[in-house]
Structure 1
């Protein structure tokens, strides 16, 4: 069974090849790319396409690798011992399974998403090397060795906020999701809004890609932000002509807050529009 994309997700040939190569090699798929290019959604669509259950492990700056294996709640056990609770005699009552344990223990193969791994401490990937390679780990409190019943399909996403260790990279199949070109973006829009007006999409894409071409932008608008912007344009019944001639008062496209996410970029666009109007006098 191979991943071919879904009706809700436009996957390029290179991305489909990367997913299927990782599955064949039984290695984690490390996916990088700009925020908003569909890295997290890829795991959801791979699971849907292959008919497998999806487990999500969303990594934060405070997340430790151990939490993906299990956590031992010594505080609760101490409290229960003081209260005379009988369950204190079975330490397993205080072991909470992590997402890796859940994936290893599943009765059938699952898809495991490790989302935004670069948010965690630099040692986080190194602390998972053996577990991701050997598909097993040891529970010291109970003396158990947990081995994967079925090797999960692991998809790891990164926004490239920090470099990942070489030893970790060697164990992954890597794919970088390039920002969609205009034709691919048109396909993505067709998936989300099959009945949207062609003239509105044409003008919206003109504005969107012109904004992205500005090198001085602090944050370039992403695919997901374009989709949100189009939703607002349709909801407010904005005519396509209004995108051709931005409001003269502020010289910004309507509902620009869906595209621009900080005041520096808003002010910069206003200045550029002002200079363009002055040069055209």
Structure 2
């Protein structure tokens, strides 16, 4: 089982090596990088590339580790007991399987994505240490030991909103996805828009990287935002003309709302454009 990228995902040599190292070591692959650099999409394309089922666990600020294993629905059992249902005699009817349980009982090796783990409480990663390490857990209500049939390929993404515990990091294989350079970004664009006018791509990439280089920008535009912007440009002839004319008197690129996402950055770009006009 080896990952070499897919037709829908441009994976650098370093990223391919990291994925395959994690698979060989049978350790969780911890992926960090700027938002919009394709961390979540990597897991989706890994599953496609190795022919495995993808099981996704999206983490929120309220998510608890126990939910990934199972939950006991005591409220439903109480309601059924009040209605006189025979279901109440089997507590197993009220055990709700979590995403780890789904991955553990899959007949074929699955890819388990734990997406944005840093959104959860600081203790969340430590609460999963044993289950991810031993690939088993105990269900106290039914006195059942759940053991993985096939060890899943675990991919964990983080946007670095919180530091992860050292004990958790020791059990992972780590890779940081660097922001794509100009050539890699062009490859990504070609994957999303085969046959796109190359001059438009060249001009758009020039503006995109110029915006990212602006000092003091609160939120730099990401890969996914570039893709959205190009999609809009392809559908708007007037915007394409503005891009290709390279009119520096414009404070902001056309359809800038796809790239710039807060008013502070809009004002910063307008101010820089004004200062550039004053110097001419």
| TM-score band, normalised by shorter chain | over 0.9
Partners in 2 of 1:156 and 1:37 — Cα distance? 14
Instruction: Give the conservation status (yes or no) of the 8 Å contact 1:251–1:274.
Output: yes
Q: CA deviation at 1:196?
A: 1.0
* Structure 2 unmatched ranges of 5 or more: none
Instruction: Give the alignment of 1:140-219 within 5 angstroms.
Output: 140-219=140-219
Q: Equivalent residue for 2:73?
A: 73
Partners in 1 of 2:239 and 2:69 — Cα distance? 53
RMSD: 1.1
Q: Equivalent residue for 2:6?
A: 6
1:104 pairs with 2:104: yes
Q: Equivalent residue for 1:20?
A: 20
Q: Equivalent residue for 1:30?
A: 30
Q: How many residues align?
A: 279
Partners in 1 of 2:44 and 2:237 — Cα distance? 32
TM-score by length of 1: 0.97
Deviant stretches of 4+, over 4 Å:
238-241
Q: Equivalent residue for 2:268?
A: 268
Q: CA deviation at 1:246?
A: 4.4
Q: CA deviation at 1:245?
A: 3.2
Q: CA deviation at 1:237?
A: 2.4
Partners in 2 of 1:240 and 1:80 — Cα distance? 63
1:245 pairs with 2:246: yes
Cα-to-partner distance string for 1:66-100 (whole Å, 9 max, x where unaligned): 00000000111111111111100000100000000
